[in-house]
Structure 1
Amino acid sequence: MTPILFIEQVLNGLQFGVMLFLMAAGLTLVFGVMGLINLAHGSLYMVGAFAAAAVAGATGSFLLALMAALTAAAAAGALVELVVIRRLYARDHLDQVLATFALILIFSEGTRWAFGSFPLFLDLPGYLSGPVTLPGGIEYPLYRLTLIVTGLVIAAGLFWLISGTRLGIRIRAGESDREMIAALGVDISKLYTVVFALGAALAGLAGAMVGAIQSVQVGMGEPVLILAFVVIVIGGIGSIKGALVGALLVGLTDTLGGLLLPEVFKLFMETSAASSTGSALASMLIYILMAGVLIWKPQGLFGGQT
C-alpha cells in the first residue's frame, strides 16, 4: 500500500465522517433536548436526497437542489413534529419507537409512490467535477474535498449556534431543565419544533450531498441512521462535540479498517480466506470501537457536555 493511497483513504474517512456528523448532530439534538428516540430521522435524510434529485433534474442547478433539500427536510420535520411527535413527549420510549417506525414505512411508501422504485441520480455541476491536486502530488476528487470543508464549516456554525446565540442558550437550557425554562416564559413547544426542523434540515442536506456520490433510492436512510446511532453512543448523547468526534472516529475506522485489515491478515494467514476474513472483521470494527468506548466511558466520550 502506497502512502498516497493511505492519505486518499484518510480523506475518504474524513468525508464519510463529516456526512455522518450532519446526521448524528440532528439526532443527538432531538434526543438530548426532547428525550425522543426518532427512528424516522433516516427518512428525513432520504427526503432531502429525493428533493435535491428532483429539483436538480428539473432546473439543472445544484445549488437550488441543495436549497430544496434543506427546505423540504425542514418542512417535513416540522410537520412531523407538529402532527405526530408532539403527542409522544409524555409517552415511554416504546411508544416513540413504534410511532417513528411507522413513520419510516409511511415515508418509504410515500416516496415510492411519488418517485417510483427506480434509483435517481444527482449529477455534479462542472465546477465541482474532476480532481484537485493536493500537496505531495495527490489527486483527490474536488467534490469529496468540498464535502469535507462544507461539513466542517457547518459544524463550526452549529457550535456557534449552540454556544453563542440566544436560541442556543434556550436549547441548552431545555436539555437541562425543560420545566424551568417553560416556567420562565419560553414557548417550549415552539422550541421543540425549531430543534426538530433544524435536525431534519441537517439530515436532508447530508442526504442531498451524498446523493451526488451514490444513487438516490427508497430506504437509503436506514443504514446511515444505524451508523448515526453508533456515533452518538460513542460521542455521548446530547453532545454536539461528541457527535463530531464520534463521527470522525467512525468514518476513519470504517474506511481505514476496510483498507488495512485485509492486508494484515494476508501477512499472517497464507490462505485464500485471509482477505475475506479481514474484510469481515473490518465491517465489525466500528461496533468493536463502540463497545470499547462504552466499557471505558459508559456515558460516551463527551456525555453530559454540549
Structure 2
Amino acid sequence: MEKYSIGHSFFLRIRTYPAVGVLIAWLVIFGIFSVMGRQFFTLSNLVGIFTIVSELGIMAIGVAFLIISREFDLSVGAVYAASAFIFGLLANTGLPSPLALVITLIFASLIGFVNGMITLRTRIHSFITTLGMMMILRGVLLAITKGVTISYEGDAIVPTILARGIAYGFRPSHFWFIALTLLFIFILNRTRYGNWVFAVGGGREAARSMGVDINKVKLINFTISALLAGLAGCIVISRFLIANPAFGAGSELEVITAVVIGGTLLTGGYGTILGAFLGAFLVGMIRTGLLLSGAPGYWYQAFIGIVLTLQRYLRILVQYVEQFL
C-alpha cells in the first residue's frame, strides 16, 4: 500500500507540470541525434544550437505570455525582420547604437500595442489581427528595401553587448535568453500580474469578477510579445552584421510550436515559461540534428509536426501510468 501511494503521488506531481512532456521529448530526441550524428554531441555544435535557440526562445517567452492569456501573435517574425532593418539603418546613419536600439524597441512595442488595440477594440480575433500585421510589415519591408540585404556599419557597442562571440562560441545572447527566462518565470509564477495572466486566459468572466482589468493585461502582453521579437531582431543583425527582408520568415510558427510543445494550451490559462524555454531548445535541436544526420532540410517541418503531435500523447501516457500505480 505504501509503494502504491509513493508511485501514485510521484506521477500525480509529474502530471501537474506542463513542461513534463517536452522534457521527455527533449531527452529522447537528444539521445537519438547523439547516436545518429557523431558531431551532434560536441561543444561547438551544442553552443551553435544555443545561439539559434536564443533568438527563437526570446520570442517564445513573449508569445507564451500572450497565449496563456488566450491570444495569438503571428506578427513576431515580421517584427523580428523589421526591427533588424530599423536598427541597422539607424546605426548606419551615425546614430549611437544604444540609442538606435532604444528607438527600435519602442517601434516594436508600438506594433504590439497596435495589435492589442485593434484586437480589443474591434473584437477581431488576434489570429486575424496579427496575421494582417505580419503581411503589412512584410509587404512594406519588401517594398522599401526591394529585397536588398543591408550591411551593419554602425558602432560596435550594441553588437558587442548582444551577440559578439565571447569564448568557445558562447555569446551574450545566450545569457540574455537565460536572464529573460528567469525574469519572466518569476513574473508569471510569483507576482500578482502573473496570476492575472492565468486568470484572464482561464476564465474571462471569473477574472473580471475578481477585479482584473482584462484588456489592460492583454494589451501589455501584446506589447511584451512584440518588444521581445524586436530585441531578437536586434540580436540577429548584431550576430550576422547584415539584415535581410527574409529574416524570420516562418519563425512565427516555429515560436508557437515551441510554446505549445512546452505545454502551453492554445485555449489559454495554462502554461510555463520553462516549457517555452525547453520547447525552443527542442525546435533548435531538431533543426541542427536533422542536418548533421544527413536528412534533407525539407524534413524539418515534418519532424516538428510529429513531435508536436507526440508531445500531447506523452502527457496522456503519463496520465495512464498514474492511474495504474
* TM-score band, normalised by shorter chain: 0.7 to 0.9
Whole-Å separation in 2 of the counterparts to 1:258 and 1:21 = 20
Match of 2:45 in 1: 9
- Structure 2: runs of 5 or more not aligned: 1-36, 265-270, 319-325
Matched, 1:31 2:80: no
Whole-Å separation in 2 of the counterparts to 1:286 and 1:187 = 36
Q: Please list the CA deviations of residues 37-73 of structure 1 after superposition, one character each: whole Å capped at 9, or x if unmatched.
A: 3322322222322222122222353333332332111
Whole-Å separation in 1 of the counterparts to 2:98 and 2:140 = 25
**TM, length-normalised to structure 2:** 0.72
Match of 2:306 in 1: 288
Matched, 1:255 2:288: yes
Whole-Å separation in 1 of the counterparts to 2:316 and 2:107 = 36
Whole-Å separation in 1 of the counterparts to 2:147 and 2:39 = 41
Distance 1:88 1:36, change over 3 A: farther
1:57–1:122 contact (8 Å) kept in structure 2: yes
Secondary structure of residue in 2 paired with 1:236: coil
Match of 2:86 in 1: 51
1:62-73 alignment, distance < 5 Å = 62-73=97-108
Whole-Å separation in 2 of the counterparts to 1:160 and 1:299 = 30
Distance 1:6 1:169, change over 3 A: same
1:236–1:299 contact (8 Å) kept in structure 2: no
Secondary structure of residue in 2 paired with 1:155: helix
Of residues 213, 230, 239, the one that matches 2:257 is: 230
Whole-Å separation in 1 of the counterparts to 2:147 and 2:296 = 34
- Structure 1: runs of 5 or more not aligned: 134-138, 263-276, 301-306
Whole-Å separation in 2 of the counterparts to 1:67 and 1:227 = 26
1:32–1:175 contact (8 Å) kept in structure 2: yes
Match of 2:156 in 1: 125
Partner amino acid, structure 2, of 1:200: A
Of residues 189, 209, 214, the one that matches 1:163 is: 189
**TM, length-normalised to structure 1:** 0.76
Match of 2:229 in 1: 203
Partner amino acid, structure 2, of 1:153: A
Distance 1:75 1:96, change over 3 A: closer
Matched, 1:217 2:252: no
Identity percentage of aligned residues: 21
Match of 1:239 in 2: 272
Secondary structure of residue in 1 paired with 2:51: helix
Of residues 183, 208, 224, the one that matches 1:182 is: 208
Match of 1:20 in 2: 56
2:261–2:311 contact (8 Å) kept in structure 1: yes
1:121–1:212 contact (8 Å) kept in structure 2: no
Of residues 126, 136, 140, the one that matches 1:110 is: 140
Match of 1:266 in 2: none
Partner amino acid, structure 1, of 2:43: I
How many residues were matched structurally?
Answer: 271
Whole-Å separation in 2 of the counterparts to 1:42 and 1:88 = 23
Whole-Å separation in 1 of the counterparts to 2:120 and 2:87 = 28
Whole-Å separation in 2 of the counterparts to 1:201 and 1:299 = 37
Whole-Å separation in 1 of the counterparts to 2:200 and 2:52 = 31
Partner amino acid, structure 1, of 2:149: P
Secondary structure of residue in 2 paired with 1:221: coil
Whole-Å separation in 2 of the counterparts to 1:298 and 1:44 = 36
Whole-Å separation in 2 of the counterparts to 1:3 and 1:207 = 29
1:48–1:68 contact (8 Å) kept in structure 2: no
Secondary structure of residue in 2 paired with 1:39: coil
Q: Please list the CA deviations of residues 149-171 of structure 1 after superposition, one character each: whole Å capped at 9, or x if unmatched.
A: 11111111111222233322322
Q: Please list the CA deviations of residues 131-158 of structure 1 after superposition, one character each: whole Å capped at 9, or x if unmatched.
A: 544xxxxx42xxx521111111111111
Match of 1:86 in 2: 120
